[in-house]
Structure formats: C-alpha cells, structure tokens
Structure 1
Amino acid sequence: MMTLDISSPMTLPCGVRVKNRIAKAPMTEGLADPMNRATKRHVTLYRKWADGGAGILVTGNVQVDRRYLERPGNVVIDDNGGLDELRAFAAAGTTNNTLLFMQIGHAGRQTPRRVNPRPVAPSEISLALPDAAFGRPRALTAEEVEDVIRRFTHVATVAKKTGFSGVQVHGAHGYLISEFLSPLANQRTDKWGGSLENRARLLRETVRSIRAAVGPEYPISVKLNSSDFQKGGFSHEDCLQVVKWLEEDTVDLLEISGGNYENPAMMIGARGADEIRSTTVAREAYFMGYARSIRAATNIPLMVTGGFRTRATMDAALTEGDVDIIGIGRPLCVDTDAPQQLLSGKAEGAIAYEQQIKPSKGALGWFCLNLIRIADGLAPDREMTGDLAIAAYLANEEETAAALEGRRLE
C-alpha cells in the first residue's frame, strides 16, 4: 500500500497536476452584482483561499440560466457580459499554483420562489417542503432539455476562456441534473426519463458536450450524490452504475456527496451510511463508507467532502486508497489558511465551528456571513450567535433579492 498524505501531489487523467490533496469544497457565495456578474468581492475572497494553500478551489454555483438560481446572488454566465470580471476572479483564484474549478449548475425546482415562482424540473412534481419557499415546477420540454445542455457547455467554454483551471458539473443535492437522476422527481416517459440510462442521459450528454468543446486536456469534474437518502430516490446502486458511465465519458474528478433539500445529508451527515461505517475515517468523514464502494467501481479520482477535520484522518483516508482528494468546506469560511496550517503541521486539524454555534439552526447563516465578511476585507466574527446569524443572513438575502428585482424592472 502506497503511503500518501495531504501534501502528496497527483496528476488528473487529463494530465493536469494538482500540487496537494486538499480542495476547498464548493460553497455558495451570494456575492454577484445585480446583473449576476462576478465582483471584486470574489477576487478578495478567492485570493485569500488561493493563498491559503489548497491544491484545488471549487467555486460555488455559477448558474447557466438566470431564471433558475440557487439564490439571488449567484454568478450567471449568459449574455450579461462580465468577462473581465471573470478573468479577475480566475486570476485571483489561481495564484500560488492553485487550480480553480468553476462549479456549473442549474437549480431546477430548488429555485427559491422569490427568484421564480414557477421553476422548471423534469416533471411537474413539487418539493416536499413548504410552498412559501419553492413554487410548483413545470416540466421542461424536450427542446428545453437540449437547451440546458447547450447552456452548460457555453458556461464551460467561458470558464476555459477566462482562465479557470477546470469545471465541475453539479449533479448532486437535488438541483436540476440530480432531479433528472431521481425516479421520484423524474417521471418522464420520453428518452430523458424511465430507466436509469435515460435518467442519466442529461448528465452524460452534458459531460460529453463539454468535453467536445474544451478538449481532452481540460479538467472536467462532476459532483454526484452517493445516494439521495430517500426511499425510491436515486440509490447507491444507481450511483455505482452512473460512475462507471462517467468513466467512459472521461471525467477527471468525481466529488462524492449526498442528499438534497428534502433530506440534507450534505449538511448533517449521511445517516444512511451507518451500517457501513466501520473505521475511524468513516466515522469522521460521513461519505467515506460510500466512497469505498465507489472506488471499487471506477478509476476516476475521487474527492470526498463532508466531515473531515483532523489531518490524521485525512492522511489515513488517502493511504487507505478510497479517496484521492480531501474536500474541506465550512472551516474555510473562517480560517482561509486552514489547508496551509494542516500542511505545515502547525495545526492537527481544522476547527469544527459547527459544533460551537448556538443555536445550531443558525449554522448556515453563520458560515455564509463569515464568508461575506472575508470577501469584504473584514475579519470573521467567531463570536456571532446563531440567532444573530439567522437574522443577518435573511436580511442579506432580502437585500440581494431586492437589488436583483430592481435591476429586472429597469
């Protein structure tokens, strides 16, 4: 068994070298301007993260269609210009020999009602969540599905043109591609629904189209659920077959996650993995049990995000061979240099701030607000309470949504 640790470099199948085994996991930023373009705040934030030592930075959701956003402050690439801003964003995120992957997504039926009260989805099936948050979707036409593929491909070509090191297709967490994969959300009877082969067609054709556009030497990553953790949904067995297909489609890096808005395992841990958690590594990193079986199904390099905090666990996971890249998310919303601290041996682990936030329901807002503070050139507020975080986060989202709506009315 080869001994690896987080400082070990690696080469992706496309030939691109990664300087170490730590990646900043994708996290929504909400920093776009009212035209959904990148801003100086992205530059400030990503330069801090690039200087922080990670080998790869994966951006938050960059959307392919402004009508269907994950939140009002998403960056969108369509006909809104913003190429110079994207170049500045890419230049900041690729300093210090860092790779910057643009995560590309479409929110589908998980578009907030405030953004669009009538989102789109594979089928006209609503989220099992309060109607106040998400409107009832309409089913995409076959022609619109083809247009989604074109939009993903366009954004990928812009990413390459403006200096991003690679792209990640978001096929997880209940967004549009994930919805197509799920038999609960996708009840179509055309070539985009029914069998797993048909439900995976949108993902596969998107990857193939991007590959044809960017060439063989440009990294393409996919974020995929190990499972939706919903009875009758996208199962782990489905996942194993899809990753075999993605290997045929020349994917360079696969990030393993799980869950969706209805069952947010990506935030609270993969409860469904309890029966296969047998090692210390699996207990700390809650998708590692699934990564083990995925590793047996594919040679695609695997990135696992979710729960990793100690260097000992990260190194052990790499040496065991079930993971190639360690994804770290929430700690970097506070300690942007956490990767360098781990690599240098100055810290034995990243701080698990989520265990300190009271009340815990304020965690999402707490991390988002500290990310925004860093983007504004401010120090993170480690003393912020969960209640304050909830109120301030909602106020920020309201302000961002109002600015977006004001722009639409001009």
Structure 2
Amino acid sequence: MTHAETLSRPLSLPCGAILPNRLAKAAMTEGLADGTNTANARFETLYRRWGAGGAGLLITGNVQIDRWHLERAGNIAIEGQQGRAATDALARMASAAKAHGSKVIMQLSHAGRQTQKMINPTPMAPSNVPLAIKGRFGIPIPMSEAQIDAAIAGFVNAAQVARDTGFDGVQIHAAHGYLISQFLSPLSNRRRDGWGGDLPGRARFLLDVVKQVRATCPAPFILSVKLNSADFQTGGFSEEDSARVAAWLAAAGCDLLEVSGGNYEQPRMFDFERKDPLASTRRASTMAREAYFLNFVPKLRAASADLPIMVTGGFRSAEAMASALRRDGIDVIGLARPLILDPNAARALLDGTRDRLDSLDAPQPLGPGLFGPASPISALRDLNGWATVGWQFEQIYALADGRDPNLSLSALRALLAYDKTEKRAARALVRDPIKE
C-alpha cells in the first residue's frame, strides 16, 4: 500500500460517523469575528477554501462559551440563546466547510485565567493562581459551584448550537492551559472541594462536560476532546494523568482524542520553549519521526486501546504520516501550519502528487545569535516565537479575504500588525450585543 493509499483510508468513529480519509485540519485560532463575536463572511470564505483542500476532517478554531473569557477578541463566542443572524452565519460556515465532503467539528473552549487583561482583568479560574507571565494577564477569581455549573451548561449549550447549525460534532478543548486544562493541572487547581484535589476531582469538570454533551447530542454527532499529553511543567498534569483521563473519556463516549501539550507558560504546542526543568524532554527519535507528541501514544494505547487518536504537530512528510498510521497506533494526522501556506496540501498528499509539505517559519525579526530564537534570554526567545505566530495569523487573514499567503511578509511587520489588530478588536467588543 502506498503512502497516499494509507492516508486515503476512511475511518469509522465510535459514534458511527465516517471520516473520508485520515487527514485533519487541526484547530487554529482565526481571530476574524467583530465586536459581537459572531461568525461572518470571512469565516465562510476561509472554511470553503480549507474544505476544498481535501482533509477529511476540519476542526474550527476555539469557539468560546463565555464572551468575558475569550482567547482573543476576534473569537466566535456562543453564549446563551443565539439570534437568527448569528445562527445563520454559523450554518453558512458549516455548509462551506462541508461542500467538498469533509466533516467539520466546532472546537469549544473557555480561556479561564488565560484571558488577557484587555478583555477581562479579573477572569474566572479554578483557583486564584495567576499566570507566571507579566503584564498581559490578571489575577483570576476562583469559581463558585454555581459558576462551575454555569460553565458546564455553557459547553452543552454551544454543542447544541453547533449541532443545530449543521456542524458534524464538537471538540472540547481540554489542553493548552485553557479553563478545562486549568482544572486538570494541580499547579492551577488548588481547590479542596469536589472539583480539585486528586485526579478524579480535577477531571470532574471535563468528564461532566463530555457526559452532558453526549447525553444531549447523541450519535452520530462527533464528540472529540483535545487533551494535553502533559503540561511540561514540574508538578503539573503528567503523562500518567493524561493516560488515566483518556480511559475515562473513552468510557464517557468520546469518539476522537487529539493529543497535544503545553500552555501559555510552556507553549510546546507552538514548538518553542521557555526555561523549565522539563522543557527539553523531546527525544531525538521523536523529532526524527516528525511528530511532537508521538512518544506518548504507547502509554495512551495501553490505557484506552480502542479510542481513536489524532496527533497534531510536526508532521511534514507522507512517509512519516503513513508510518504513524501503520505502526504507531495513530488514527488521524492533524495538520495546521502547512494548510495556511497551501490550503490544498492535504489533497496533494492524498492523490500522491506531493510527498512532503512546506511549513515556512517566518524570518526572525531580531536577527541571529543573542537576538534570535535560540537566545539565552527567555524574553527574546518568546518574542521570536510569538512573532512567528503573528506571521501565521496574518496568512490566515489573507486566506479569509480570498487572497494568497504573503510569504514575503517579515515577522517583525507581522508582529506589529498582529498587536495592532488585537488591540483594535478588544476595543470594539460589544459586551451585551442585541440578540435578534
């Protein structure tokens, strides 16, 4: 069997939904919404383009369930009852994504303490543990039992809206340091009630969300979860914790588990690191096989043998992708940055016309050496890393506007433009939009 044939095999999920192939467009934050945090024509253009690109599964960027707890001011948010204009825009987005046969699922999230100050200076979180990042984030307020119940209900409500507007499923975002990930980690969850303490207590929020979504949105609606393999922080959510939670998720009705890792304090999902005792744990063998989190899969398989697994991050060659599917227990390959540079990259892999994808990292804005991405000064490493992320955002904006990516854009210009865009979007937020 050729690599292309391996990637082209359909996958039947536990809920009965069938993915037409093994490639997925992983979630990437879009930042395209206006001050009302509703979908618009730019989302429709973007997902029509990605849908035509051949990936069997498209996962949206994080849709927030609370407008006071956004990851970015330009997020879509589904909070409470939605007006006709908002649901019609979501339906057009879903229809555009599915027009060429892809399945599309909506990623649902709540930023918790990772809400920026310019959006909410006092966000809710499991405990009042602030991020160890100066300036951008405030000290969080511990959630009451009533607020926890309301947040769980918010995830369920958003899932129902996704189902009713034509999405094939949802992905519950329990990774990258957002609210559910904060509940899972003993570093950010210091509660001593039934929502904290040992792992069952810390996992209760996630499991309640999954069980209630599954009860209200039965098969063939796809229920996926994005879970950290680890936080990569001493004393945080560990691989052993993750494997146990994965087994509980499988029993609760999860159809697809996406493996990731890191958070804002240790952003391994973006493939750059801050100083930390566990920051250099990526093994050379894993790097050679391309995927960032592949070495965790055997532990995951031992804990939940039948749960379909998706791994995102680092895959570039058809050979490595096919090998992961054949030998490493992976069911779905997640692609992100390569689909920004070439929205048709998945189709090229599937028809065998390409055997390797590009993932152009933006030119570093501060130069090599001391000022570059390997600088011994963590602030400069961060600046280089976030400039690259800003460069990727600028390319998403181009696709959403019907243009091709601007590969000549410098990372410094992209970073400045991104910062300006985010501040303008935050100022434009309408806190209580009129519901039509």
TM, length-normalised to structure 1: 0.95
Give the C-alpha shift of residue 356 in structure 1: 5.4
Task: Name the residue aligned to 1:399.
Answer: 424
Give the C-alpha shift of residue 33 in structure 1: 2.0
The code of the aligned residue for 1:75 comes to I
Alignment match of 1:116 (pick from 120, 128, 135)? 120
Task: Name the residue aligned to 2:300.
Answer: 294
1:197-253: CA deviations, max 9, x gaps?
000000000000000100132110000000000111101110011001011101000
The code of the aligned residue for 2:417 comes to A
In structure 2, do the counterparts of structure 1 residues 311 and 76 end up closer, same or farther at CA, with 3 Å as the change threshold? same
Give the C-alpha shift of residue 396 in structure 1: 1.2
Q: Any idea what SS the aligned residue of 1:97 has?
A: coil
Task: Name the residue aligned to 1:347.
Answer: 354
Alignment match of 2:101 (pick from 91, 97, 101)? 97
Supply the distance in 2 between the matched residues of 1:227 and 1:181 (Cα, whole angstroms).
10
Task: Name the residue aligned to 1:175.
Answer: 178
Supply the distance in 2 between the matched residues of 1:194 and 1:368 (Cα, whole angstroms).
38
Q: What are structure 1's unaligned runs of at least 5 residues?
A: none
Task: Name the residue aligned to 1:35.
Answer: 36
Instruction: Verify the 8 A CA contact 1:333 1:367 in the aligned structure 2.
Output: yes
In structure 2, do the counterparts of structure 1 residues 234 and 337 end up closer, same or farther at CA, with 3 Å as the change threshold? same
Alignment match of 1:233 (pick from 232, 236, 261)? 236
Instruction: Verify the 8 A CA contact 2:282 2:292 in the aligned structure 1.
Output: no
Supply the distance in 1 between the matched residues of 2:399 and 2:295 (Cα, whole angstroms).
34
Task: Name the residue aligned to 1:88.
Answer: 92
Alignment match of 1:337 (pick from 333, 344, 347)? 344
The code of the aligned residue for 1:325 comes to V
Q: What are structure 2's unaligned runs of at least 5 residues?
A: 367-383
Supply the distance in 2 between the matched residues of 1:394 and 1:211 (Cα, whole angstroms).
38
Task: Name the residue aligned to 1:218.
Answer: 221
Q: Any idea what SS the aligned residue of 2:36 has?
A: coil
1:7-406 counterparts in 2 under 5 A?
A: 7-78=8-79, 79-81=81-83, 82-130=86-134, 132-268=135-271, 277=283, 279=285, 283-298=289-304, 299-354=306-361, 360-361=384-385, 362-404=387-429
Q: Any idea what SS the aligned residue of 1:75 has?
A: coil
Supply the distance in 2 between the matched residues of 1:330 and 1:363 (Cα, whole angstroms).
11
Identity of aligned residues (%): 45
After superposition, the CA RMSD in angstroms is 2.1
Instruction: Verify the 8 A CA contact 1:34 1:407 in the aligned structure 2.
Output: no
Give the C-alpha shift of residue 196 in structure 1: 0.2
Supply the distance in 1 between the matched residues of 2:120 and 2:132 (Cα, whole angstroms).
18
Give the C-alpha shift of residue 350 in structure 1: 1.1
The code of the aligned residue for 1:209 comes to Q
Supply the distance in 2 between the matched residues of 1:281 and 1:18 (Cα, whole angstroms).
28
Q: Any idea what SS the aligned residue of 1:168 has?
A: strand
Where does structure 1 differ by over 4 angstroms across 4 or more consecutive aligned residues?
Answer: 1-4, 269-276, 278-282, 355-360, 405-409
Instruction: Verify the 8 A CA contact 1:70 1:112 in the aligned structure 2.
Output: yes
Instruction: Verify the 8 A CA contact 2:109 2:172 in the aligned structure 1.
Output: yes
Q: Any idea what SS the aligned residue of 2:96 has?
A: helix
Give the C-alpha shift of residue 8 in structure 1: 1.1
In structure 2, do the counterparts of structure 1 residues 2 and 146 end up closer, same or farther at CA, with 3 Å as the change threshold? farther
Supply the distance in 1 between the matched residues of 2:213 and 2:312 (Cα, whole angstroms).
24
Supply the distance in 2 between the matched residues of 1:319 and 1:357 (Cα, whole angstroms).
36
The code of the aligned residue for 1:13 comes to P
